[in-house]
Amino acid sequence: MIENDLDDRPQYTPWIAALWVEPDMRRRGIAAKLMEAARKQASARGHAFCYLCARPDNSPYYLALGFKQIESEVSGLNLFSISC
């Protein structure tokens, strides 16, 4: 979790960012668990929402996890929010 991951949108904070799961470890729920931990941390700090940006080809994954797409094609990325 970081304060800002996209200079074009400073009004959104905090961000779930720089989350990476090695390809051979994917499809095991690791990323979802890491995002849930970030959401809990943000909630404990008093935030109502978390944000993330992703390439358009990854958008279906975040939508399936319950994120809501709030903008598209901002510096080539889609922006998402989810309650903390």
Give 15-70 pLDDT, tens digit per residue. 999 999 999 999 999 999 999 999 999 999 999 999 999 999 999 999 999 999 99
Q: State the total domains in the chain.
A: 1
For residue 1 the two structure tokens come to 């979790």
15: β partners: 2, 51
The confidence score (pLDDT) of residue 48 equals 97
- Is residue 78 very low, low, confident or very high in pLDDT (cuts 50, 70, 90)? very high
For residue 78 the two structure tokens come to 């889609």
pTM of the predicted model, to two decimals?
Answer: 0.90
Cα–Cα distance, 27 to 61 (Å, whole number): 11
In a domain, 5, yes or no: no
Task: Check: CB of residue 82 under 8 Å from CB of residue 39.
Answer: yes
- Is residue 5 very low, low, confident or very high in pLDDT (cuts 50, 70, 90)? very high
In a domain, 62, yes or no: yes
The confidence score (pLDDT) of residue 62 equals 96
In a domain, 74, yes or no: yes
Question: What CATH number does the domain containing 69 carry?
Answer: 3.40.630.30
